[in-house]
Amino acid sequence: MHALRAGKRWAKSSSVTNRGEHMKNKTILITGSTDGIGLVAATKLVSMGHTVLIHGRNAEKLAKTEQLLLNANPSVSVEIYRADLSSLNEVESLAEAVTKDHQSLDVLINNAGVFSTPNPRTSDDLDVRFVVNTISPFLLTHRLLPMMNDSGRVINLSSAAQAPVNIPALKGQENLSESAAYAQSKLAITAWSFDLAEQLRANGTSVIAVNPGSLLGTKMVKEAYGRNGADINIGADILIKAALSEEFESASGQYFDNDSGRFATPHQDALSVSVRSEIVDTIQAICSNLSHRVDSPASTTGE
């Protein structure tokens, strides 16, 4: 299965007024947006008049999501893309499809994530938590950076659960428990967010790590902990704020903790240049070994 653009609706207007502010219509890709926080955020963004690119694994859920969003605002553009982010080949296909369909991308929200799964190993014999939560967002971001200009934003889903990364486990050489793999994958995405933000400092494209809130009422939380969780609007609203608000305009290379409602200090390993470098080098090596070379973005990002 490859990434497929399964549907399209074109916008009739290019701007929207929200809370008294006139905002340019943004083109926003949200991974994992057929349920949970991603779906709620997409619905709100569509209602605000933005062009939203929906991603999911299941064609039927994508079609239902497309109709739901068009019902929320029939005048906007909604496009759906199918890809399994546990496969780097499908990540490449997703990036190619988005690049083919659009000249530019304003916001990428790497929202998709996995905690519990019947098969924790991918077809490439890697831990699926590291692939979906860390490596695939890394590859997708680098492939789409040339579409993003100096006002673009990459919003990466971090978590309050962060733990030091076991490099052999990241390479697929050791097995971890669900909770350990998840926490390490979230430290890893926070680490590469900080690293990429530093590389892009002169370019202007922002990379921001966000903990949307702990134990929100998502399918992941229900399956992992057997509880309903808190209102998922808490998570959706902070993603929208991170994507669009002036408050986050100069937040590149920072971590926002929505549990405390402020920019905060992540796990100390995310602040260590040497630890970050080891994590990024490992991710790049994994991508290269699977024929998905990732070069420095310094010379490839959009003007």
Integer Cα distance of 235 and 56 in angstroms: 18
Tell me the domains of the chain and their CATH numbers: 4-299 (3.40.50.720)
Side chain identity at residue 149, one-letter code: N
Distance CA 66, CA 6 (A): 10
| Rounded Cα distance, 163 and 267, in Å | 7
How many residues are present in the chain?
303
Q: What pLDDT is attached to residue 296?
A: 73
Q: CA end-to-end span of the chain, whole Å?
A: 33
pTM of the model: 0.89
What is the pLDDT at residue 228? 63
H or E element in which residue 9 lies: none
pLDDT at residue 166, as a whole number: 98
Q: Quote the CA–CA distance of 176 and 48 in Å, as a whole number.
A: 41
Low-confidence ranges of the chain (pLDDT < 50): 1-2, 4-22, 221, 299-303
Q: Residue 16, Cα to own-chain centre: how many angstroms?
A: 24
Q: Which of 140, 1, 85, 88 is nearest to 291 (CA)?
A: 88
pLDDT tens-place string over residues 5-32: 443 332 322 333 344 333 689 999 999 9
- Residue 184 · residue 204 · CB < 8 Å: no
Task: Write down the pLDDT at residue 7.
Answer: 39
242 in Cβ contact with 208 (< 8 Å): yes
User: Within a 10 A sphere around the Cβ of 2, how many other Cβ atoms?
Assistant: 14
Cβ neighbors of 19 (< 8 A, separation 6 or more) are none
pLDDT of 303: 40
SS3 291: coil
Residue 32 has what pLDDT? 95
